[in-house]
Structure 1
């Protein structure tokens, strides 16, 4: 009888502890085209939750991370939002594609939950599809294109471009904005191949690469992500395209270089909003502590994807503390226009579109021998150009032009 009572008491205490936790939901790709980026998202989120709980949690309660696999599928990401809501989550974040971010963000809005996009780069996320309950921490296609465009116009002027793009929201966004930024809008001179979303066959990669090789272009833009980008880079390397073309990968990630290999990726140019050595460059003590904690936990440097997830959790928690509430409308007011410094220099949640304004960097993958000299052999990126978030992001007038008749977030 005593054991039964003890078991009931423990169960009651456990249930009370669970009920007292504040839950947040992470939508991330554990499988599929973007699984490597998904691993970094979860690692960054867990470090943020652990850090917050070490400091006493939020509003007297511990923070609990719920996570579900999206398999890089917008419909699954949307179903996950329903699941998180049923579990009592107060906020949802993540996604590895813009389609996921838009669809899951819309469902979160219907359920009265904030949604923070991490890897959704298409302009539509905070542009045409922007809404009050959706915030984006990662940079946009506008931001990547502008920092790349300025660097390329200075260092590789009057070049002929060829584009291989994924035919989805982000692929179309980055192609359009990069063409404008580099003066390569004339498709008769600056050709392209459009690849369908999802896994591709080897023949599709080969046809696109053969077309690029025959184009006579000086610059090859691979507007691809995940496994598709990894396979395309290996093929470009094996075909010797880097000997005659400068390859541009608009959104570079640590996981891409790790999976493909430094020899294949060396000298490729792209963009990042954060690298593991950014905190030193920007004199961010909190950023350096994050790097050290990640190193102790995983024996490797963190990438920008992990930093994005960490920042989202910490910023939501900060808004909760400042407003003493987890109510979505109250937190929107606390976030809009808020400036902060966490893992780098100053950032801001812009009020009219909920885009996170932050410095964005053009980076080049270092030579393999340089990378191998690093203790962990992971010092992949050299920052070659920097642009402020205010300069890189679309202006209010440009945002209004994209929005059309709906001139405020609804």
Structure 2
């Protein structure tokens, strides 16, 4: 009995040496699509966010406080998000909210967070509106936006499809409108009579909606088909396009790609598809970013698949919030916001900056082309989809202050974000 007691005391002492002692717990809220059309992107977000929280807690937490992740399923629906974010702030008392794979959800989250004075970080929200027309002082976007993606994509399209006819199939909500407008602007296809298009419902699109839209594309006989669709909607559309023989007749462009979307589409259907992306698992190795390589290796070993851009963004956000709190030496929301504004950071890729006037993360963006099926199938996880065919620095890709001011003015918004207390 005495030996058992000694062993118990020893193990207890050992545990105090291994596990950090926390002063308190700080809650972070993630509102992500566990279900719905963007659930694959959501799964990547939550996995990477949990990894970041685990690492931070193992290293002593944030200012000595243990980090706890409070999770809500957005379902990519605005009404659900409104309830979730309100609950996270009012009842769970989270210090920060992040997530979102539908820009409509991100915009709704940002509005509530602004009203309640809590920082919001957009994890996967590509509509320009998130940090332009609907931008707020408490909103930060870690991923790129439609404008940036369209700009790097258009540099390739102009070289290879100048003067060609385009047809657009677009999800009917803020991200879809924003992305189509941006691609049209930079590809020189703003004339909708010469380059027509059709809208598909969101988030309720069904197979019949995509079939009707694709039939209109066939009738228009374009050289380039731009599928402004995302998540499971894109995979349905691209599979149907191939079944209808469209890949043989026109080049397919998906302006905003993710690895999970390529996987859902399948290697045969995705072969040769062109798109843009802010990060892919090949970037750290190709350009030698050690922290990015370590993230990819750890994620891959844990989940038997490569991380996606959605996960990379969620992981970065958790670490960037931690770093801002530590610079501010406080969890005070206004102090954290000031610590973020204009700050340059580097984690999974090259240097990025939280631009002060709009809170967009200025970063390198990439144009990619989906590899042939044979190359994808050779990979251990059959996920080696993307060949990087172009890149553009964040300063080249992002809207200028003058362009941002013009967009804000056109929307009836001031050309400066809301003041913090005491400003």
127-136 or 73-82, larger mean C-alpha shift: 73-82
Equivalents in 1 of 2:204, 2:81: separation in Å?
18
Equivalents in 2 of 1:383, 1:54: separation in Å?
35
Q: In angstroms, what is the RMSD of aligned CA positions?
A: 1.3
198-207 or 44-53, larger mean C-alpha shift: 198-207
Q: TM-score, normalization: structure 2?
A: 0.91
Deviation at 1:155, TM superposition (A): 2.2
Match of 2:303 among 295, 298, 302: 298
Equivalents in 2 of 1:323, 1:201: separation in Å?
48
Equivalents in 1 of 2:214, 2:316: separation in Å?
37
**Is 1:250 matched with 2:255?**
yes
After TM superposition, the structure 1 = structure 2 runs for residues 390-409 of structure 1, keeping only pairs within 5 Å, are 390-404=395-409, 405-409=413-417
After TM superposition, the structure 1 = structure 2 runs for residues 292-331 of structure 1, keeping only pairs within 5 Å, are 292-331=297-336
Equivalents in 1 of 2:392, 2:122: separation in Å?
22
Q: TM-score, normalization: structure 1?
A: 0.94
Deviation at 1:18, TM superposition (A): 9.4
Against the structure 1 CA distance between its residues 272 and 126, is the aligned structure 2 distance closer, same or farther, given a 3 Å change threshold? same
Equivalents in 1 of 2:191, 2:39: separation in Å?
35
Q: What secondary structure does 1:46 align onto?
A: helix
Deviation at 1:227, TM superposition (A): 2.0
| Aligned match of 2:141 | 136
Match of 1:79 among 83, 87, 101: 83
Q: What secondary structure does 1:378 align onto?
A: coil
Equivalents in 1 of 2:23, 2:230: separation in Å?
39
| Aligned match of 2:359 | 354
Unmatched 5+ residue regions in structure 2? Answer: 1-20, 419-423
Deviation at 1:321, TM superposition (A): 1.2
| Aligned match of 2:16 | none
| Aligned match of 2:373 | 368
| Aligned match of 1:9 | none
Equivalents in 2 of 1:94, 1:342: separation in Å?
18
Contact 2:22 2:60 in 1 (8 A): no
After TM superposition, the structure 1 = structure 2 runs for residues 260-275 of structure 1, keeping only pairs within 5 Å, are 260-275=265-280
Equivalents in 2 of 1:145, 1:82: separation in Å?
33
* Deviation sequence 1:275-313 (CA, Å, 0-9, x none): 111112232111111011101210111111110100111
Deviation at 1:258, TM superposition (A): 1.7
Match of 1:56 among 56, 60, 77: 60
Equivalents in 2 of 1:281, 1:344: separation in Å?
10
Deviation at 1:386, TM superposition (A): 0.1
290-299 or 274-283, larger mean C-alpha shift: 274-283
Equivalents in 1 of 2:262, 2:154: separation in Å?
23
Q: What secondary structure does 1:164 align onto?
A: strand
**Is 1:228 matched with 2:240?**
no
**Is 1:239 matched with 2:244?**
yes
Q: What secondary structure does 2:220 align onto?
A: coil
Q: Alignment length, in residue pairs?
A: 394
